[in-house]
Structure 1
Amino acid sequence: MDTFDIARLASYRENNRIEAKAAKGGLPRSMWETYSAFANTYGGVILLGVKERDDGMFETVGLTRPEAEHLRQDFWNTVSNRSKVSAVLPIESEVELLEGEGGVVVAIHVPRAPREERPVHINNDLYNGTYRRRGEGDYHCTRSEIVSMVRDQSSETMDSKVLDEFSVADLNAESIRGYRMRFQTAHAQSSWNPLGTESFLRAIGAAAVSREDGRLHPTLAGMLMFGNDYDILRECPNYFLDYRESLDPSIRWTDRVHSGDGLWSGNVFDFFFQVSRKLTSVLKVPFKLDGIFRVDDTPMHKAVREALANCLFNADYYGVRGVVVRCELSRLVFENPGNVRTGVEQMRLGGMSDPRNAGIMRMFGLIDVGERAGTGIPDVFATWAAAGLPEPRIEEAFGEAERTMLTLELASVTNNEQINVADEQINEQINASGEQINVADEQINEQINASGEQINDRQTTVLDVIRSNPNITYDELSRAVGVSSSTVRRDVDALVADGLLKRIGSRKTGHWEVQGGAR
């Protein structure tokens, strides 16, 4: 709460941002617990000279001006004593004397502490003197909460750690190969493309030379991105990635992908591309053409990918319960361990990027995934607003399992109406029966593939990967796109039938050639 209006005193109630203390006999000891709690949560106002009546309303207790002045001076003397309080947060103007009916009130505005100063604790006791605010009360932080706040203090993000006990050879070669193909597509002229594997990994921050032995080892970012889950668990014992799809009420999960099942690498890179395809396939796609090609990638699809990337960038992989992404009929939910380092409001407003895993964010950014300037989540909010959908919700849960949850509500589909995505370039809409309204445009010539379906987003990716590596094999292509070899073969056959792709030479020694009109 930014301001306090003494004239409206009776309208206030104790909550997670305001606390009333009578303070007739001097500064109450419990005030410092509240100071710590506000500083470690969302900030708040401590009112001295105010009591809470039985009906919950506030009233002044009749402090005189000299008594209030004495309380203010005592506050400054005590808060400046590091053996009592670990951080001085308010500035002089944030400790006010307010004249009210029946007495003077001291209003102490306690801001949320910067992460570098959290946990704010009292009595020089980190583990017994750290509090957080829940509802109207203050509670002792658990050891895991305190350790989590300490981890976040560092100016270096946790994923910059060099893992001396691992070698680059421990990373998943297929995941690295898939990443390099995407990197080459995004940066065809980069001087990093010809580098060997170790040099490339060092260039993108996935590996670094250890100060201990002078050898190249994976960073935590590199292990999370390209490692196998059984190796990641050695460093992060609670690591877990889980996608749960529930689109049929009669079935617990209509689809599920999670690390640890032995069917795939279980790393963050492969999880992102598997899950982003599943999430975006659930969204309704307005019919839209760019020239003669169908465009399946709407602002809403991009926003969902941004929400997923943000979840992975900001997860505390040492935290408990892991990353959980839930896809339901009426909503998408992204949960990650750890709270919001910049605070929920700042995350909503954007403009300040402070990821928990800067190395992972950088590596994704190099293949054009995720925003780097703190605009990703505001873009999600803007896209949802433009689509006429309920405003996204960002929530934090504190306690043993600190978590951040981003919920994206989807408009309920009534009368088979599809979600209308605000996009000025959309030249066809969907009517209430689900049939496409034909926009008269004699110059548009729709190109249909062999199966009768228009070229989709995955087939566009297939063309992009082949364009960057004409000699690619089916197995390499399936890994780069993130689908089975049989699916890739069907896509290639369809693209060849459409005249968008051509095989030059024999099956063994030849190469692919993307035809001129293909995008």
Structure 2
Amino acid sequence: MAKLSDFAHLREHARLEAKRAQGGLPKSIWETYSAFANTEGGIILLGVDEEPDGSLKPVGISHPERLERDFWNTVNNPNRASVNILTSHDVRIDTVEGPEEPVDILVITVPRAPRELRPVFVGGNPLTGTYRRNGEGDYRCSPESYQAMVRDASASPLDTLLLDEVTTDAISPDTLASYRNMLSSLRPNHPWNELPDEDFLIKLGAAGPSAGSAGLRLTRAGLLMFGYEHEIVREFPSFFLDYREIYEEGAARWTDRITSNSGDWSGNVFEFWFRVSNRLTADLRKPFELDNNQLRVDSTPMHDAVREGLVNALIHADYLGRRPVVVQKYRNRVEFSNPGDMRVPVEVALQGGISDTRNPTLMKMFSLLAACERAGSGLDAIQRACRQAQAEPPTMHVSYDPDCTKLVVPLGTASAFADSATASGPATLATPSGERQRVLRYIEMHGPSKRIEIQEALGVGSTKAKRLLSAMVAEGLIRTEGASNQTVYLLA
């Protein structure tokens, strides 16, 4: 025989909604059904009262079979519930210990609805019958939250949409050149390196021909990745990228900040990623070790973890939402916040292996630069990095209305903030040493230099030289100009 205490532990993982059933189904059960389905799921107990202290008191139901039948008839009525997401295993009658004798209760387990079926609404009107869970209660969703769920339910990725009114003039030429230089440095034999800019943008999914109009038009992904900020906000009015360094816990202000609307740079997603990824890893400890090719290892799993967290926030953001993308770097953790709900349950995302990216074209663009994983293993890698750094596990939290997802990555012993940062200012990038310093000195003395020239000056093989130069480009120490055999390296 079950006990109500058997359900108590579920409060940590799913919501419990205790409802007393006297002669029929409570009217509020349908609001709770919608709220659970549109949030993280939960359990409804019929025949149970909740005491003021939060404890559960069994009162029982007199005709459990009839109540169960009424529930199934109603949940399958499209005029009452937009969709039935339950199986026969989700509804059952349990006998539990009562105050004096065993009583029957009805247990209804409502799962989180797949995004394709959301919003789950009741009463026939989605604008007034869509609910979500907030704390211990159900609340009617605002039109903004409703529209966000509708966007996520679409089978067509929103970032592939071609913008008929936005031409390639909205692109920052410097941003596109930087992206192409990085790609040619990391993938020198990639067939797209030789393409003209317009053909390259088409291959990348950043632009395409518009019916009835001459010239190319940008996709949403192309505008976000390469566009000027003042052009981006015409399509995405709430677009805002914000990076803050906060070295004093609880401080009212940041120590340093990068924002997309500052006006002194393009303000697009690619340049934000490039600027912030270096800042995030500038003062993480680096081990002194060599790989099999005797190239110094200047990166750790924690370096990769915070970079992955940054890219995740950018490619999963709902840029039509009202929240900004915010990255906050503290002494002991980094917090990544992006607009939009999780498209898969939080626990599934943390387990890894499943990817449901809100902006797959942006993900493709970053994947070409080896900046993110495509197999849903990014969060799994972050968890491994936290374990290796003897840090607490990463956490994810979703808030609603407006929707926002926050990932917190503790840094543990991998952080060198205590050694390199003070309250008076931000940490600075450590001075490159060894072969990196020799490369920088060579370029400083000789100007734009080809890889073969640097290779001969270092006295290393071509493979090692390619890897070293690619790493220095990714770290922002040097940059490239030209393509293929005409590529030269310059100081960043």
TM-score over 0.5 (shorter chain): yes
Which stretch of the first structure deviates more once superposed, 9-18 or 366-375?
9-18
Give the distance between the partners of 2:210 and 2:417, measured in 1 at CA: 58
| 1:269 aligned partner, one-letter code | F
Equivalent position of 2:39 in the other structure: 41
| 2:272 aligned partner, one-letter code | F
Deviation at 1:294, TM superposition (A): 2.9
Equivalent position of 1:409 in the other structure: 410
Give the distance between the partners of 2:352 and 2:394, measured in 1 at CA: 14
Equivalent position of 2:331 in the other structure: 329
Give the distance between the partners of 2:416 and 2:261, measured in 1 at CA: 41
Equivalent position of 2:221 in the other structure: 221
1:87-135: CA deviation from partner (whole Å, max 9, x where unpaired): 1011011111112233111111111011111111110111111111112
Equivalent position of 1:422 in the other structure: none
Cα distance change of structure 1 residues 457 and 6 upon mapping to structure 2, 3 Å threshold: farther
Deviation at 1:255, TM superposition (A): 1.9
- Helix, strand or coil: the match of 1:193? helix
Q: Counterparts in 2 of 1:1-16, with a 5 A limit? A: 6=3, 8=5, 11=8
Equivalent position of 1:78 in the other structure: 74
Cα distance change of structure 1 residues 251 and 212 upon mapping to structure 2, 3 Å threshold: same
Equivalent position of 1:382 in the other structure: 384
Cα distance change of structure 1 residues 155 and 333 upon mapping to structure 2, 3 Å threshold: same
- Helix, strand or coil: the match of 1:272? helix
Give the distance between the partners of 2:184 and 2:172, measured in 1 at CA: 19
| 1:351 aligned partner, one-letter code | G
1:9-28: CA deviation from partner (whole Å, max 9, x where unpaired): 58569786111111122011
Aligned match for 1:56, one of 54, 57, 62: 54
| 1:8 aligned partner, one-letter code | S
Cα distance change of structure 1 residues 24 and 513 upon mapping to structure 2, 3 Å threshold: closer
1:51-81: CA deviation from partner (whole Å, max 9, x where unpaired): 22344322222323xx111111111111111
| 2:95 aligned partner, one-letter code | E
Give the distance between the partners of 1:194 and 1:226, measured in 2 at CA: 19
Cα distance change of structure 1 residues 293 and 36 upon mapping to structure 2, 3 Å threshold: same
Give the distance between the partners of 2:322 and 2:168, measured in 1 at CA: 27
Equivalent position of 1:453 in the other structure: 433
Give the distance between the partners of 2:113 and 2:213, measured in 1 at CA: 38
Which stretch of the first structure deviates more once superposed, 17-26 or 271-280?
17-26
Q: Report whether the alignment pairs 1:200 with 2:200.
A: yes
Equivalent position of 2:266 in the other structure: 265
- Helix, strand or coil: the match of 2:370? coil
Give the distance between the partners of 1:5 and 1:188, measured in 2 at CA: 65
Residue pair 1:9, 1:59 contacting (<8 A) in 2 also: no
Give the distance between the partners of 1:23 and 1:53, measured in 2 at CA: 15
Q: Report whether the alignment pairs 1:242 with 2:242.
A: yes
Q: Counterparts in 2 of 1:332-371, with a 5 A limit? A: 332-371=334-373
| 1:175 aligned partner, one-letter code | T
Equivalent position of 2:120 in the other structure: 120
Deviation at 1:288, TM superposition (A): 2.2
1:455-512: CA deviation from partner (whole Å, max 9, x where unpaired): 459969x99x9657989xxxxx9xx95999xx85xx99xxxxxxxxxxxxxxxxx996
| 1:201 aligned partner, one-letter code | L
Equivalent position of 1:440 in the other structure: none
Cα distance change of structure 1 residues 143 and 468 upon mapping to structure 2, 3 Å threshold: farther
Equivalent position of 2:130 in the other structure: 130
Equivalent position of 1:313 in the other structure: 315
Cα distance change of structure 1 residues 345 and 211 upon mapping to structure 2, 3 Å threshold: farther
Which stretch of the first structure deviates more once superposed, 318-327 or 409-418?
409-418
Aligned residues: 448
Equivalent position of 1:437 in the other structure: none
| 2:50 aligned partner, one-letter code | E
Deviation at 1:404, TM superposition (A): 0.8
Deviation at 1:317, TM superposition (A): 0.7
Give the distance between the partners of 1:246 and 1:416, measured in 2 at CA: 11
Q: Report whether the alignment pairs 1:92 with 2:84.
A: no
- Helix, strand or coil: the match of 2:153? coil
Equivalent position of 1:517 in the other structure: none
Give the distance between the partners of 2:393 and 2:475, measured in 1 at CA: 33
| 2:232 aligned partner, one-letter code | I
Give the distance between the partners of 2:94 and 2:473, measured in 1 at CA: 64
- Helix, strand or coil: the match of 2:132? strand
Cα distance change of structure 1 residues 408 and 259 upon mapping to structure 2, 3 Å threshold: same
TM-score by length of 1: 0.79
Residue pair 1:167, 1:218 contacting (<8 A) in 2 also: yes
Q: Which structure is higher in helix share? A: 2
| 1:75 aligned partner, one-letter code | F
Equivalent position of 2:185 in the other structure: 185
1:165-219: CA deviation from partner (whole Å, max 9, x where unpaired): 1112321111111111122123222221211111110001111233464752110
- Helix, strand or coil: the match of 2:375? coil
| 1:84 aligned partner, one-letter code | R
Equivalent position of 1:274 in the other structure: 275
Give the distance between the partners of 2:61 and 2:439, measured in 1 at CA: 74
Give the distance between the partners of 2:267 and 2:330, measured in 1 at CA: 23
Aligned match for 2:393, one of 379, 391, 394: 391
Give the distance between the partners of 2:437 and 2:375, measured in 1 at CA: 26
**Structure 2: which 5+ runs fail to align?**
421-430, 455-468, 481-485
| 2:65 aligned partner, one-letter code | E
Equivalent position of 2:175 in the other structure: 175
1:409-459: CA deviation from partner (whole Å, max 9, x where unpaired): 23379999889xxxxxxxxxxxxxxxxxxxxxxxxxxxxxxx883345996
**Structure 1: which 5+ runs fail to align?**
420-450, 472-476, 493-509, 515-519
TM-score by length of 2: 0.83
Q: Report whether the alignment pairs 1:296 with 2:298.
A: yes
| 2:265 aligned partner, one-letter code | W
Give the distance between the partners of 1:378 and 1:388, measured in 2 at CA: 16
| 1:331 aligned partner, one-letter code | R
Residue pair 2:168, 2:216 contacting (<8 A) in 1 also: yes
Residue pair 1:133, 1:139 contacting (<8 A) in 2 also: yes
